[in-house]
Amino acid sequence: MTKAPRFKRRVDRRLFFWSASQRNATRGHECAATPALESKATFGNISAVKTGRVIETRDASQTRLPYVSKSKYLWGLQCPKLLWHTYNAKDLIPEPDAAQQAIFDQGHEVGALAKKLFPDGIEVGEGITDLDETIQHTTPALKLRKPLFEAAFAASGGYCRVDILKPVLTNAWDIIEVKSTTSLKDVHLDDLGFQAWVLTETGLKVRACFLCHINPGFARCGGIDPRKFFIMEDVGKQVSSLSRNTEDQLGDMFKTIQLPAHPDVQIGPHCDAPYTCPLHARCWSFLPETNVTALYRGGQKGFNLLASGVTALADIPDEFKLTDNQQIQRRAARTGQPHVDPPAIHAFLNQIEYPASFLDFETFGTAIPFYDDLHPFQQVPFQFSLHVVASPNQAPEHYKFLAEGRNDPRPDFMRRLREVLPTEGSIVAFNASFELGRLKDCCEALPEFVPWLKTIEQRVVDLLLPFRGFRYYHPQQQGSASLKAVLPALTGKGYDHLAIQEGDTAGREFLRVTFGDVSEAERRRIRRDLEAYCGQDTEGMIWIISVLRQLV
Ligand code: SF4
């Protein structure tokens, strides 16, 4: 097994360059954007040329390689094994799940908004997915010297569609990449570097490269003004140095693609950065349930252990340096028994004053804020569950709220919570900073709730703390202190029986049935699922407290 390498700089041009005899064997027609220079490669029935011309080839015997698109290039930078699969074992790559699809959809919405920055822009090859056709549509569009959306280019094996291509000076272009993030990331530079290289290879003069990302300081006030919503960051300098390496990177990628079997790459942090790899489940499936990658705050440590042949937590040698919490994990894995610190748990439980209110929120956040006073991605609470226990061992009373309609849910949410939340006793939440943070956010938009918030802040108790501090640790937690890990490990009750099993799904489903085109029956079904899910979070906290009391 090898570590995932960044592709080397050297290139074997034979992999995708035509020989002189091959070039002479071709005949074709030109797309009349710019004068033709030398042909460089064949890809299917099309050869890309430096100028962006498209020439039909007639020699079926010449080397035929697929294009490496921008997204595949980025996958190739992340891991050669992933790249190999995209060309040689595509059926093993799962389709995007609902969470990934939601990210893509959001990206499209943000992309559509960015196009409004250029009202005279022209959509190129709208709805067309065939690579060669998109290129053919681009060539005449370039002559118009207007901002172009989704213009397509191919050269020397690379293919890309540019979000926005803006004409500048008399004969140059600026590349604008739109991202639905609030800051610049390294992967964006790789992305732009690739595009700049492809366009330059086709003979286009690229003057500058910009990342058009979301302005984190934007707050909605009425309609969305794209000039305020986006920040245009000039990244030309960073991109140009990356762009110089693209040809070499691409050359190595072609070698990888042509390997008879996938390269043997050890799993590592690269499996989740910059994106979670679609082959994650497959590549990681060899690990035992309780494995070294679950070491709490383990960083590279778990992968170093893997490289030395240790996979199970229980098998970590005694002499291997571990933190105190990691040693607790190893001990628990070896004995199968939980670690318990009774005095610390006793002290924690003593903080809880009755009536105790167990509180949990569900939220959604969108790149483009739905309502006034909202920032991009700001979490909007739309649901709460509150179980109130008057005294230990008494049956809880349940209160709940789930927003109706499409209006801003925050005013009703805050009013209802103020109405039902007891004025005394502890307010117990799991990872309470999240609930407190959402209340503070709401108070910024609804300042009339500020005095009420001040009366409850000091009463909040965070049930996460004894677990994050390893005062209790069960081997089934697999290094996680989240409620979803703690509840089943501690009480044997989990979320498997529920249709909605985690918060992101709750937010997505709420948006779908509130703003989407769904039947009334579907809407009611999902709302029941949401109530069951949020209710389980608060009732689950009561079960956890009950078990902890039995331990001390
Ligand atoms: S899971 Fe990791 S090792 Fe496997 S293909 Fe993806 S990035 Fe490469």
For residue range 429-479, list pLDDT tens digits in order.
999 999 999 999 999 999 999 999 999 999 999 999 999 999 999 999 999
Residues 538 and 487 in one domain: yes
Q: Is 79 part of any domain?
A: yes
Residues 501 and 373 in one domain: yes
pLDDT at position 510 is 97
What is the number of other CB atoms lying within 10 angstroms of the CB of residue 433?
11
Residues 37 and 56 in one domain: yes
Q: Return the best residue to mutate from 2, 74, 79 for the ligand 1 pocket (most ligand atoms within 8 A of CB).
A: 79
Q: What's 175's DSSP letter?
A: E
- Number of folded domains that form the chain: 3
Q: Return the best residue to mutate from 279, 285, 293 for the ligand 1 pocket (most ligand atoms within 8 A of CB).
A: 279
Separation of alpha carbons 252 and 10, rounded Å: 7
How many angstroms does the Cα of residue 17 sit away from the middle of ligand 1? 29
What is the residue whose two structure tokens read 């930078």?
Answer: 77
Q: Are strands 54-56 and 68-69 parallel, antiparallel or unpaired?
A: unpaired
Q: Model-level pTM?
A: 0.85
Q: Is 101 part of any domain?
A: no
Q: Please say whether the beta carbons of 162 and 195 come within 8 A.
A: yes
Residue 181, helix vs strand vs coil: coil
Q: Which of 218, 241, 263 is the last residue of a domain?
A: 263
**474 ligand 1 Cβ < 6 A:** no
Has residue 391 got a pLDDT over 50? Answer: yes
Separation of alpha carbons 317 and 350, rounded Å: 38
pLDDT at position 131 is 86
Strand partners, 160: 153
Residues 190 and 226 in one domain: yes
Residues 372 and 301 in one domain: no
**262 ligand 1 Cβ < 6 A:** no
Q: Is 137 part of any domain?
A: yes
Q: Which of 287, 316, 335 is the last residue of a domain?
A: 335
Q: Is 244 part of any domain?
A: yes
Average pLDDT rounded to a whole number, residues 72-98: 96
Has residue 153 got a pLDDT over 80? Answer: yes
**267 ligand 1 Cβ < 6 A:** yes
Q: pLDDT per residue over 262-271, tens digit each?
A: 999 999 999 9
Q: Is 58 part of any domain?
A: yes
Residues 371 and 514 in one domain: yes
Token output for 446: 């609804």
**82 ligand 1 Cβ < 6 A:** yes
How many angstroms does the Cα of residue 268 sit away from the middle of ligand 1? 8
How many angstroms does the Cα of residue 288 sit away from the middle of ligand 1? 17
- Greatest distance between any 2 Cα atoms in the chain: 89
Residues 221 and 368 in one domain: no
Residues 168 and 208 in one domain: yes
Measured by CA distance, the residue closest to atom 7 of ligand 1 is 271
Has residue 4 got a pLDDT over 80? Answer: no
Residues 39 and 154 in one domain: yes
pLDDT at position 23 is 26
Separation of alpha carbons 491 and 482, rounded Å: 14
Q: What's 223's DSSP letter?
A: S
Q: Which of 242, 263, 284 is the last residue of a domain?
A: 263
**500 ligand 1 Cβ < 6 A:** no
Q: What is the CATH number of the domain that holds 1?
A: 3.90.320
Residues 142 and 204 in one domain: yes
Residues 284 and 385 in one domain: no
Q: What is the CATH number of the domain that holds 537?
A: 3.30.420.10
Percent of the chain at pLDDT > 70 equals 88
Q: Which residue has the higher pLDDT, 36 or 141?
A: 141
**265 ligand 1 Cβ < 6 A:** yes
Measured by CA distance, the residue closest to atom 5 of ligand 1 is 82
Q: Is 403 part of any domain?
A: yes
Residues 314 and 442 in one domain: no
How many angstroms does the Cα of residue 79 sit away from the middle of ligand 1? 6
Q: Is 98 part of any domain?
A: no
- In ligand 1, the atom with minimum distance to the C-alpha of 262 is 5
Measured by CA distance, the residue closest to atom 3 of ligand 1 is 267
**81 ligand 1 Cβ < 6 A:** yes
Q: Is 453 part of any domain?
A: yes
Domain that holds residue 132: 1-92+106-263
